[in-house]
A and B are shown apart, each in its own frame.
Chain A
Amino acid sequence: MVDQADIGRVVTEAADGDGDAWGVLVQRFSGLVWAVTRAHRLPSADAADVFQTTWLRLAEHIHRLDNPAAVGAWIATAARRECLQIIRASARVIPIPDMTRFDTTPSGDNTPEEAFLRSEREQQDKERAQALWNALERLPRRCHDLLRVLMASPPPSYAEVAAALDLPIGSIGPTRARCLQRVREELA
């Protein structure tokens, strides 16, 4: 994983035409762009359009960034603006997450006891996952949006989160703590 200090160097290499360096940026920041679209609850076709537009814009701007090391914040801002544009232009549809992704098919060569225990555990895991996801969805908008961006993989920096949501960077830490506590309260 490339650390923050090296990102500026990777950007410079991509700006010089290095496709592998571009690939490093795609791996590092695609999760963040996607998380911004999830925070804005865009339907999947709109999310895909925002995602692609953001990367195409970066390709044009990569050699003219004021602060290459802060490309993550640039990307997050670009994604946020595209999300806002789509939301303001259209009626929003809130997509329903697919809980069936947690269903697993049993393997054929376990004993009935093992299969029962595993399916019990899977059922508990699935219930926990469902409860956690519902708690997230029920959060007030500010907490929902913040946690959705924080949930990006790899984890974003607070500067990137601030850019993604247009929030003061100093507020991120305290708001995160409050919002995670809200999740725990929703689960209890």
Chain B
Amino acid sequence: MRDEEYDNDLEEELRWLAGRLEPVPPGLLRAAQDAFAWRDMDHELAELVSDSLLDADEATLVRSSQEQRLVSFRASRVSIDVEVTRSRDERSLLGQLTPPQPAVVEIRRRQGAVSVEADELGRFRSGPLQPGPASLRFRSAAAAAMPVVATDWFCL
């Protein structure tokens, strides 16, 4: 056999092995299908524009940044900065809306949502949260001030 055929056979054998030892869990396939139902055309997306864990190079990551992560999102008329604190199996959020304004903040999780309020200075915080995907949706207290905005899903 030519080298290329040997390579293809070995790669196929490895692929088969991975399929036997570490297949995609069926529950996750269902979750991926269900993700489609989370699309919401009624809000503006605040895209993730920076993440302190990804934007720093390895040399500048220090211990404290492993516990404190700053994630920033931007929509057309508002930006949101979120500090994620991590301790073992818990997360918590401290957030800031800019320009500062009061709002209802819905912390969307796969297992349900938790609502908190942003004060008149646009500050909000969460209680303890489980790790996993999250998206924050904002409904301004003064309805005309900004459209409903939701952040990209990110992993707490």
A residues near B51, Cβ cutoff 8 Å: 81, 85
Distance of A34 Cα from B11 Cα, bound (Å):
17
Q: Are B152 and A51 in contact (CB-based, < 8 A)?
A: no
State how many residues of chain A have any CB contact under 8 Å with chain B: 57
CB of A116 within 8 A of chain B?
A: no
CB of B142 within 8 A of chain A?
A: no
State how many residues of chain B have any CB contact under 8 Å with chain A: 43
B70-121 residues with Cβ-Cβ distance < 8 A to A are 86, 110
Q: Are B18 and A52 in contact (CB-based, < 8 A)?
A: no
Q: Are A132 and B13 in contact (CB-based, < 8 A)?
A: yes
Total of A-B residue pairs, C-beta within 8 Å: 140
Distance of A35 Cα from B13 Cα, bound (Å):
15
A residues near B133, Cβ cutoff 8 Å: 49, 52-53, 56
Q: Are A62 and B31 in contact (CB-based, < 8 A)?
A: no
Q: Are B13 and A52 in contact (CB-based, < 8 A)?
A: no
CB of A117 within 8 A of chain B?
A: no
Cβ of A15 to closest chain B Cβ, rounded Å: 9
Q: Are B18 and A153 in contact (CB-based, < 8 A)?
A: yes
Binding site for B on A (CB under 8 A): 14, 19, 22-23, 26, 30-31, 34-35, 38, 44-46, 48-53, 55-62, 64, 81-82, 84-86, 88-90, 97-99, 101-102, 129, 132-133, 136, 147-148, 150-153, 155, 176-177, 180, 183-184
